[in-house]
Structure 1
């Protein structure tokens, strides 16, 4: 199916020159002069080679048909990362190269979307936001306002994030998975 380049998003599968590529990142640039372009970083599924492409935002790109399903994360072992389809209880093992840097967000029971092509998982899409617990940060300073600069913190899954000064150890926070930024204090 053909789509214009500006509609390409992270996790999409693109078919180009007879190869399938998973989109790792896609950014649209609109310079003051000249043609707007879409910069796309992709990984070739067959051998894992990373490729950068730049298309005019109105150019047609071939999007491959892949099956997208929801799966729950179970566990990780030497074979890879194991997920279960919630309705049929079918399990699938996903290679670590597909998961990539997103492995730090995987927690028991986390619902993700896997892109399946010919029975093999080729891409993962995490929820936009995830709740993690702060395990390490600087102590709260009395009188410091929330509007001042942020301080570094470490979560229980090993994700580094900048948090407001009032956040202390043991606090559960909501993190944006796209760029590992603090969103808000968890309401649970």
Structure 2
């Protein structure tokens, strides 16, 4: 058991028999009142959210999630199928992938991390930096070099993002998967 004050964003706790991930935890101590922790929680299985307030010394039970390295295999509507090191298939529903879908492509070799709760895959985490190929972008405008010039580009899977003006069709670019932002041209 941990006190409410010890929980940080990203950790998982058990509340009323259900698993909740902490999205935000804010400690607050005011004058005469007891210290409290305001949390923003999201249910791992249903996706529902709530914002309870706990006393700082309330005891809550942490949950340790299982993790396994996997690679994307194929899409079998409505499930995405991943494979672990022992060639076991792990099926993940589209709703559980969230922004990860923006960077998934057929034949990708990136090693991802599957997160399990009670034996069920609840999410997939991509590496923080991935490399994708630009399938379409407008040519750069000559003379527009004042500051950081960005333009729209479409990746091979159809996802659009802002890239630097010097990026051309066919270039491999690095993308930060946490923010979805262009980091730079990939080193070959």
List per-residue Cα deviations over 1:54-93 (Å, max 9, x = no partner): 668x77754312211111111111251111112x222211
Aligned length: 178
Q: Measure, in 2, the Cα distance between the counterparts of 1:38 and 1:149.
A: 40
Secondary structure in 2 aligned to 1:63?
strand
Moved over 6 A (4+): 28-31, 33-38
- Structure 2 counterparts to residues 1-188 of structure 1, below 5 A: 2=2, 4-5=6-7, 7-9=8-10, 12-22=11-21, 26-27=23-24, 40=40, 42-45=42-45, 48-53=46-51, 62-78=61-77, 80-86=79-85, 88-107=86-105, 108-145=108-145, 147-188=147-188
The answer to whether the 8 A contact 1:153-1:160 is kept is: yes
| Unaligned residue ranges in structure 2 (runs of 5+) | none
Greater C-alpha radius of gyration: 2
Q: Measure, in 1, the Cα distance between the counterparts of 2:167 and 2:146.
A: 9
TM-score (norm 1): 0.77
TM-score (norm 2): 0.77
| Unaligned residue ranges in structure 1 (runs of 5+) | none
In the TM superposition, residue 142 of structure 1 has moved relative to its aligned partner by: 2.7
The answer to whether the 8 A contact 2:136-2:153 is kept is: yes
